[in-house]
Amino acid sequence: MPVTRFFAFIFVVGMFRMDCAKIMASGEFKNKRVLVRVDFNVPMQDGVVQDLSRIKLISPTIAFLKKAGAKIILISHLGKPSKYEEKLSLRNLLKVVAEEYTSNVRFIDDCLHEDANSIISDSSPDDLILLENLRFHPEEVACDDDFARKLADLADFYINDAFSTSHRKHASICAMPKFLPHAFGLSFVNELSILDYFFNHAPSPKMTIVGGSKLSTKINLLKNLVKKTNKLALGGGIAGAFLAYHENNSLKIFDGEEYADEVAEIIENAEKYKCELILPVDFSSLVSKYDQSDYAVISSSNANTSIFDIGPESVELFKRHLRESACVLWNGPLGLFEKTPFDFGTISVAQEVAALSREGKLISIIGGGDTAFAMNKFGITKDLTYKSTSGGAFLTYLEGNSLPGIIAMEDAFTLVD
């Protein structure tokens, strides 16, 4: 379901401090070298890209710049190297990038290659230029100004179209705007606009689903969401801390005392801000019998067992609340979705979200690496209103924190499509 059907009216909010009168017209890019920070940090296996989502994501910006007559230079990272590693070379992406954008792609095997300027100058206007992995230079992660200045010497203009890395204070994100005129890319603006829509403009009731195994990574998220949404459903291991708070220790994942203060604060704020907390009432548990592993459905009052998924009553509970909601934001799987039968909870709720979205009864926003992977695995992504390809940046923004990549671009122009 096209996201524009819901969000056609959304515009970049005041937090960007953009001067909307300074929109960059297409003519201003003609024959200009434009350095575009993208996120090609894609999953690879044996040199083969497993998910093209992040490569496809930037197509609106590429199309805009091509139409404007710009010379496009793409910069990105892949993995977390500190020096050259062949398996993390962006050379491995040349074929898929060329196929996706039906363009010849010229590769520069060092982002600071001494001949980079001449290679860019000699390139055809129809070529895409891809620089080698930025993180092969430790100065990238160190947010080194000299490194950013050398990159800036390759271009006339800088565009950040990598929302998913903009929670990192790295040179290509935070230092580049110091040295070049700059703008947000179209996919970046779209993602922020959609998140702003959810928090500030979406119809109520608004529901959030938060799963995952580690409560420590979701504490700040829950503290923020409980103040901004009408319903908050918890799944995965993090639900254990809330059941432990209610003196139910069936989920032997958390020490009931470890997060007691944080959980108490979230529960107190849920009452204060009238956010309904929705906790699982049954689970799928791993059991051993006759030297074989099997599973059983147990209630939330059973103790001394290990659980790996929510149970069928919890699935129906979540579905009922989804049918009562106008908009849902989902971050984190509800169980060990990678393995059958513990994918039951996540896939069952995901199918309900997809069906309601397809019928136009629910606006669905999905974010987080594991969540996005699960939706792709279950084959329902096409039915969702919006699927974010961001991980840490998505989570950081939902926690209510400013992204360094946005702060660095506060005086940016914006593109129009």
What is the predicted pLDDT for the residue at 247? 61
Residue 21 has pLDDT above 50, yes or no: no
Cβ 352 vs Cβ 320: under 8 Å:
no
pLDDT band at 11 (very low <50, low <70, confident <90, very high): very low
Cα distance between residue 402 and residue 396, in whole Å: 8
pLDDT band at 289 (very low <50, low <70, confident <90, very high): low
Any idea which fold 202-398 has?
Rossmann fold (3.40.50)
Res 262 pLDDT > 70: yes
User: pTM for the complete prediction?
Assistant: 0.85
pLDDT above 60 (res 301): no
What is the pLDDT, as a whole number, of residue 290?
46
Please report the pLDDT score of residue 160 as a whole number: 96
The pLDDT of residue 87 is 94
pLDDT at 174: 96
Q: How many percent of the chain have pLDDT more than 90? A: 63
pLDDT at 309 over 60: yes
Mean pLDDT, rounded, of the chain: 85
Greater confidence (341 vs 410) lies with 341
Residues 323-357: pLDDT tens digits? 999 999 999 999 888 888 889 999 999 999 999 99
Is a pLDDT exceeding 70 seen at residue 298? no
β-strands 386-387, 363-366: how paired? parallel
CB atoms within 10 A of CB 25: 9
Domains of the chain, residue spans: 14-189, 202-398
Query: For residue 249, what pLDDT band results from cuts at 50, 70 and 90?
Result: low
3-state secondary structure the chain: CCCHHHHCCCCCCHHHCCCHHHCCCHHHHCCCEEEEECCCCCCEECCEECCCHHHHHCHHHHHHHHHHCCEEEEECCCCCCCCCCHHHCHHHHHHHHHHHCCCCEEEECCCCCCCHHHHHHHCCCCCEEEECCHHHCHHHHCCCHHHHHHHHCCCCEEEECCHHHCCCCCHHHHHHHHCCCEEECHHHHHHHHHHHHHHHCCCCCEEEEECCCCHHHCHHHHHHHCCCCCEEEECHHHHHHHHHHCCCCCECCCCCCCCHHHHHHHHHHHHHCCCEEECCCEEEEEEEECCEEEEEEEECCCCCEEEEEECHHHHHHHHHHHHCCCEEEEECCCCCCCCCCCCHHHHHHHHHHHHHHHCCCCEEEECCHHHHHHHHHHCCHHHCCEECCCCHHHHHHHCCCCCHHHHCCCCCEECCC
CA torsion sign, 294 to 300 to 304 to 310? positive
Q: What is the predicted pLDDT for the residue at 282?
A: 86
More confident residue, 297 or 342: 342
The predicted structure's pLDDT at residue 18? 39
The answer on pLDDT for 303 being more than 60 is no
User: What is the rounded average pLDDT of the residues 289-293?
Assistant: 50
Q: What are phi and psi of 294, to 5 degrees?
A: -145, -175
Q: Is the distance from CB of 130 to CB of 110 less than 8 angstroms? A: no
Q: Is the pLDDT of residue 248 over 60?
A: no
**CATH superfamily, with its number, for domain 14-189:** Phosphoglycerate kinase, N-terminal domain (3.40.50.1260)
Least confident range from 188-197, 281-290, 375-384, 387-396: namely 281-290
> Cα 378 vs. chain centroid, distance in angstroms?
18
Q: How far, CA to CA in Å, does 145 sit from each of 82, 116, 139, 173?
A: 18, 19, 8, 11
For residue 188, is pLDDT > 80?
yes
- pLDDT tens string 86-103: 999 999 999 999 999 999
- Compute how many other C-beta atoms are within 10 angstroms of the C-beta atom of residue 46: 6
- Looking at per-residue pLDDT, the higher value among 77 and 240 belongs to 77
**Whole-number pLDDT of residue 227:** 95
pLDDT value at position 22? Answer: 39
What is the mean pLDDT of the segment spanning 255-266?
78
Q: What pLDDT is attached to residue 95?
A: 94
Asked if the domains at 14-189 and 202-398 fall in one CATH topology, the answer is yes
Work out the pLDDT band at 17, boundaries 50, 70, 90: very low
- Whether the CB-CB separation of 13 and 392 falls below 8 Å is answered with no
pLDDT category at 216 given cuts 50, 70, 90 is confident
pLDDT for residue 234 is more than 50:
yes
Range from 71-80, 118-127, 246-255 carrying the lowest mean pLDDT: 246-255
| CB within 8 Å of 291: residues ≥ 6 apart | none
pLDDT greater than 70 at residue 293: no
Q: Model confidence at 368, in pLDDT bands (50, 70, 90)?
A: confident
Residue 288: what pLDDT?
Answer: 57
